[in-house]
Amino acid sequence: MNLDTLAAIAAIAITVLTTLSYICNCYARPFKEHRRCHGTGRIPYLFGRGWRFCPRCQGTGLRLRIGRRVWNHARRLQREAALRDERSTPRREARPHEETGTDEGR
Ligand SMILES: [Zn+2]
């Protein structure tokens, strides 16, 4: 194993570990501190004193991580597709004697 192979393996391992770490972060802590208001939910007025609620985070001081936003979007698409499939498939109404598979009901 030469040095180039070792460097390539290290680069791939670092990339995979960083990605896994980010995925775990998106799962465990989906929200992150909003950068503009530094997590306080308040920003100062441009002129004069005082503060107002941050309009971007609606005063919560939190923002959803990009990875979590992508995950939520994918889940929403999957759910809507499943609902669409369920609605488009015609349901076959079972006749009373077919429900049990026997002729006991007659
Ligand atoms: Zn904010």
User: Whole-angstrom Cα distance, residue 60 to residue 2?
Assistant: 52
- In this structure, what token pair is assigned to residue 28? 């465990």
What is the pLDDT, as a whole number, of residue 5? 95
- What is the pTM for the complete model shown? 0.65
The per-residue pLDDT string of the chain (106 residues; one tens digit each, 9 = 90 and over) reads: 899 999 999 999 999 999 999 999 999 999 999 999 999 999 999 888 899 999 999 999 999 999 999 999 999 999 999 999 888 887 667 666 665 555 554 4
The Å distance, Cα 65 to ligand 1 centre, comes to 14
- In this structure, what token pair is assigned to residue 42? 């308040």
What is the pLDDT, as a whole number, of residue 106? 47
The Å distance, Cα 77 to ligand 1 centre, comes to 28
- In this structure, what token pair is assigned to residue 18? 């960083």
Q: Is 94 helix (H, G, I), strand (E, B) or coil?
A: coil
The Å distance, Cα 90 to ligand 1 centre, comes to 48
What is the pLDDT, as a whole number, of residue 69? 96
